Amino acid sequence: MRVRGGRSLAGLFFLAIAYGCYSSVAPVPKIDPGDIDSGSSSSGIPVDSGCAPRKPWEGPGVTGVLPNGGDTAYVLSGDRYFVAQFDVSGDAGDPTLGNVLAWRESGMIKDLWNDAPNALGGFIYDDPGVTAVYISKTNGAQVIINRFRRWVRAGDQWPVVGSVTDDWIFNDAGPPIFPEEGGTEPWQGDGVSATYFGPNGATFTVISQNRGWTRKTSDPDPKNWTWNDAGFALADTAPFSTAPAVGGQRPFEGKGVTTAYYVGAKLFVISVDKLWAYNGTAWVSSGLLSSMQGWSSAPSANCSP
């Protein structure tokens, strides 16, 4: 695979990435089965139960961008996947950095990862499908999340499956309870909808639609990583608070942030079918994915026969 400018997507996408393979020494929080099995709410991310062909921004929209080597990544949409080639050359000020250059293939996640084991009673592709992704900071493994369930993929193996709480609670410390809406953790309700590391891997952010939590990850020993004392509302927090409206909606409105990722030092935020790009000082582009260069030529993903 050609790499533009001699730089790889794996080295730029999700510049750092979470410590994905340790177990918590704290009790795993109980997640009410009534919450996890109740199906999608009106504010959730539904997966089309039919077999109509679907573009990445249709149905649940884009719910993950996961590097898979070189300058390509899986673009995930609930229960479907697409493989795209990205421009990874230049710095955050380069207007083409992070653009989609070409599309390689598309299909169903149940076919792509048909060997993925059951995790806490569900599979990766079960409703609502993939809701967040990242790459392990310590070993480069892919981490895939379905609301609160988590799979770690290393090569062609699945060494770890379980809950996000296995990683995110350590030494009896985890994401604080969000103070509003009765108090919530990122894995509750509609669950985790985006995860990303800041440049140089100093911070790790978890988003659940319109709420966020940040973990300090600069210490060389992951056992010393700590969460900030409070969650935050995206509408009140930079840079999200200054994002322009696209079709009358900002990233934290509607179904909220459905994925976010860095290419180099440029942050990309997607809410279903809308994209915003932030270069570290300003939002430099935004619009509907269906009309953006590169994205507009995306193929459809069909149901398996």
Average pLDDT of 289-298? 96
**Who contacts 111 (Cβ-Cβ below 8 Å, separation ≥6)?**
304
Domain CATH code at residue 76: 2.110.10
**Mean pLDDT for the chain overall:** 85
Tens digit of each residue's pLDDT (9 = 90 or more) over 161-219:
999 999 899 766 789 988 766 678 999 999 999 999 888 889 999 999 999 999 999 99
The boundaries of the domain holding residue 282 are 4-24+54-189+232-297
Residue 136 has pLDDT above 60, yes or no: yes
- The pLDDT of residue 305: 58
Q: Quick check: is 212 in a domain?
A: no
**pTM of the predicted model, to two decimals?**
0.86
The pLDDT tens digits of the residues spanning 8-66 come to 344 445 343 333 333 333 334 444 433 443 333 333 344 444 678 999 999 999 999 99
Place of tokens 């997640």: 31
Is 174 among the domain residues? yes
- What is the mean pLDDT of the segment spanning 240-262? 98
Count of domains forming the chain: 1
